Amino acid sequence: MNNLPEQIHAILQQNKRTDPTNYNYLIKQGGYVAPNSALITDAITALSLGKNILLKGPTGTGKTKFAETLSFLFQQPMFSVNSSIDLDAESLLGFKTLTYENNKQQIQFVPGPVINAMNDGSFLYIDEINMAKPETLPLINGVLDYRRTLTNPFTNEVITAKEGFRVIAAINEGYIGTVPLNEALKNRFIVLEIPYIAGDQLLALIKSNSTLTDMQTIKLFVQLSEDLVRGVKQGKLAEDAASIRALLDACDLSSLIPPERAIKRAIVDKLEDDREKQFVQNLAETLF
C-alpha cells in the first residue's frame, strides 16, 4: 500500500508525536466509534505494514462496522466471507461451472471472495472465522502469511495477491457453535480486542445512530448498557443481552413507544432464561 490516503498518513504522523484522545473526527458519521484512539491507530498501523488483523469480541460490539470503516479509511473496496459451519473451499475460493460458447460446452471457474480480493488487491473480511470447518481454513494459510499465495485447487493455478490485499477477520469466542481458532491460523493475525463501548462514546453513538433524541432517555440507556455489560461479566446474563445492536434497536423503538416496552421487545424477549429476563426487566423498571 504505497499510496496511503492522506487521512491515514495524518493519523500515523499524529500518533508518532502524541496519542490524542480522539480520532473519531476522522471517521465519517455512521462509522465505527472506538473506545480509545489506540485501537484505531493500532489497526491502521498493522494494516499499513501489510499485516492481517483479527477483531475479537462479543456479538454487537461493532466488529463488522470497524472493518467497513477501515476499508473506507484506506479507500479500498472490501470482499466479504460469512463463515458458517459449512464454509468450504468453494465458498472461499470459488467453483467450477458449465458454460456454453458457440454451442460448445466449457468448464469455467467462477472466483470466490478470497480470489477476487487477491486479484483486485482489496480488503477481505472474514466474519465469524471460527465458525468455519477446521479443514477449510488451512487452505488459506499461505494467503495469510508472507507468501500471499494460493494454489487454486480447482484450476491448479498459482495466484499471488496484488499489492493492497489485506485480511480482516472477526471472531466471537465462546459463541455457541464456534470452535477454538486453530493456532496456526491465529498466529497469522494481529489480534485486537473489541469491547462494548460505554460512557461518552456510547452516548455519541446513540445520538448519531438512533432516532432517539431525548437526552435524558439517551443517558438512561447508557446507564442500562453499563448494567447489562456488568451482568454479563458477572455471569448473570447471556452475552447477547449486552449487544449494542440490540440496545440501538431499543433506543429507536423508545422514540415512539415507552422505553420499558422497547427494552422488552429488543432485549428481554430474546433471552431464553426466565431469571435473565427478570433481571433485565428489573433493571429497566429501576431506570425508566
Ligand X SMILES: Nc1ncnc2c1ncn2[C@@H]1O[C@H](COP(=O)(O)OP(=O)(O)OP(=O)(O)O)[C@@H](O)[C@H]1O
Give the binding site for Mg ion (CB under 5 A): 63-64
User: Which three cell numbers, joined as nine digits, stand for 148?
Assistant: 500471499
Q: How far is the CB of 65 from ligand X (least distance, A)?
A: 4
Start-to-end C-alpha separation, the chain: 50
**Angle subtended by helix axes 244-254 and 199-209, to nearest 10:** 50
| Residue 46, C-alpha cell as written in the block | 498493522
DSSP state of 185: H
Binding mask 243-272 for ligand X (x = CB under 6 A): -xx--x------------------------
142-171: contacts with ligand X (CB under 6 A): 170
Cβ proximity to Mg ion: between 64 and 210 the closer is 64
Q: Which stretch binds ligand X (CB under 6 A): 62-70, 84-92, 153-161, 215-223?
A: 62-70
Burial class of 142 by CB neighbour count within 10 A (0 to 12, 13 to 18, 19+): middle
Q: Choose, by CB under 6 A, the member of 89, 181, 197, 229 that binds ligand X.
A: 197
Choose the contact partner of 205 out of Mg ion, ligand X, none; CB within 5 to 8 A by kind. Answer: ligand X
* Identity of residue 29: Q
Amino acid residing at 22: N
- Is residue 64 a contact point for ligand X (CB under 6 A)? yes
Q: Smallest distance from the beta carbon of 101 to Mg ion, in angstroms?
A: 40
Which single residue brings its beta carbon nearest to Mg ion? 64
Q: What distances in angstroms separate CA 206 from CA 30, 106, 232, 284, one per listed residue?
A: 10, 53, 21, 17
If binding is defined by CB under 6 A, does position 63 make contact with ligand X?
yes
Nearest to 197 by CA among 178, 164, 222, 171: 222
Quick check: 71 binds ligand X (CB under 6 A)? no
Q: CB nearer to ligand X: give 89 or 171.
A: 171
Are 129 and 137 contacting, i.e. CB atoms less than 8 angstroms apart?
A: yes
* Binding-site member from 83, 122, 130, 172 for ligand X (CB under 6 A): 172
Residues that bind ligand X (CB under 6 A): 32-33, 59-65, 170, 172, 197, 205, 209, 244-245, 248
